[in-house]
Amino acid sequence: MNSRILTLVWLAGLAAAQDSSQSVVTITGTTHQLTGGDAGPTVTLPSDFEGSTFPTGTMSGMLSGSTGAPNATASGTSTPENTLTEIVGGTRTTAVSGNMTATTATTPRPSNTQPCNNYAEFCNRKYSNITEVCAHNSPFVRKNNAGANQEFGVTQQLNDGIRMLQGQAHYVNNTLYYCHTSCDLLNAGTVEDYLTDVTKWVASHPFDVITIIFGNYNYEDKDENGNPLVTSKNFAEPIENSGLKQYIYQPPKTAMTLDDWPTLGELIISGKRVITFIDYNFDTDAVPYMLWEFYNMWETPFSPTDTEFPCTLGRPAGISEEKQREMLYLANHNLNVEVSIAGLDLVIPNTVELTQTNALNGSGSLGLMANNCASEWGRPPNFLLVDYYNFGSPMNGSVFEVAARANNVTYNRKCCGTASLATVLERPSATYFGLMIAVVAALVL
């Protein structure tokens, strides 16, 4: 049995134990299906699983009934083959009378209270049936630099509720760096260093599932033999060196439909809680856990400068509407402006309109786009890609309120970060925007 699974069940038990009415964890289901990567085989619980209580002891062998978490109680139900156990709260006691007949008293068992990606409701939802906020160009955090797209670093982004990370990687001197357009404009450091921070966060948040899209800036470059210079193989080394690979889910198919994806609970219990995609030059033979984004997900128009934010197909070109309805989809909602400086054509965030772009309601708002997309496609976007997620209206972090409404849950968190861009950008102005362009000019001249 995978030790990570046992640890997760035990952690859930600790969470439940904080409430005396939910002092133990009940595990329901007769079959435990581990999915992805080297997660292991199916583990079928024994026929006498019903009512067995695991005494306090070590973590090993918990599901076999030998030892387990403190006061863990198990009850079996008839669940379909290859389904996953669900962790819920509740208690169960068994009394044996003098004539040796057993009677069982069960307290009312509440629904699961352990949040998955900040909401208990998400634990039983498929990965493909949840809307999450994506930090566009997550690594690009640099004060007074027009190449920046976020105010806070990746650890704070994840703390605030970001669950998809995206960034553009450049291959320089046999090393992958996160750079925006040019490493001379904004170099955020190596991909490996960034992923090391991500791994630390993932390791300390066992009930969260995140997604990473790797942007391959050098996808058109060729080696001396005419082969692609940079593919998903180049990303394998920083992934492995950072320690992230152990958490990456390997789907059973290279092109997953909406129905193929597991639930968040399944991913969490398997320990495989990171989904990885690459936009161009995938090689699933060499790196099977890194999916080609456009086999699995389509996007609305990329780097939009249109405040209407149409919910039409942007990438990949040419797929049918029928196919779109079977795939994940990402709404690009980061308003940009095009500038040309010193021979460089740049698309940079339109900070003048930032507050309204990330707003809950109104013309050009993220909330309006999410609603329009949901109406057009019969379901909201799976991912909402935004710049400076901590800005919005009527409150900072309104992007998370938009996602909560799309998910039909109540947003009850506070956002964002430990500092505020308001000291510089309380009301993004044309003057500040002009300053950003001047900074770019100084960097490229």
Residues 363, 367, 373, CA angle at the centre, nearest 5°?
A: 100
* Cα→Cα distances 107→16, 20, 94, 367, Å: 14, 12, 12, 42
Distance between CA atoms of residues 442 and 432, nearest Å: 15
Of 32, 170, 180, 333, the active-site residue reads 180
3-state helix, strand, coil in the chain (%, to 5): 30, 25, 45
180 labelled catalytic: yes
Contacts of residue 191, defined as CB under 8 A and 6 or more positions apart, other chains included, come to 169, 176, 177, 178, 214, 235, 238
How far CA 297 is from CA of 278, 283, 291, 315, in Å, comes to 11, 17, 10, 9
Q: H or E segment at 336?
A: strand 336-341
AA letter at 301: P
CA distances for 113 relative to 74, 81, 328, angstroms: 17, 25, 27
- For helices 191-203 and 232-242, angle between their N-to-C axes, nearest 10 degrees: 50
- For residue 352, give both structure tokens: 């003048």
User: What is d(CA 195, CA 159) in angstroms, rounded to the nearest whole number?
Assistant: 15
Amino acid letter, 443: L
Comparing CA positions, the residue from 379, 380, 404 lying closest to residue 392 is 404
Active-site residue among 136, 170, 205, 333?
136
Spatial contact of 374 and 380, defined as CB atoms under 8 Å apart: yes
Q: Which two tokens stand for residue 25?
A: 């964890």
328 to each of 129, 255, 260, 384, how far by Cα in Å?
9, 11, 11, 12
Q: How far apart are CA 287 and CA 276, in angstroms?
A: 11
Q: Any catalytic annotation for residue 136?
A: yes
Helices marked H in 166-243 — which ranges? 191-203, 232-242
Q: Which residues pair with 212 in a beta bridge?
A: 165, 276
> What is the rounded distance in angstroms from the CA atom of residue 281 to the CA atom of residue 283?
7
389, 133 contact by CB (below 8 A): yes
Distance from first CA to last CA of the chain, Å, rounded? Answer: 59
CA distance 332 to 329: 10
List active site positions: 136, 180
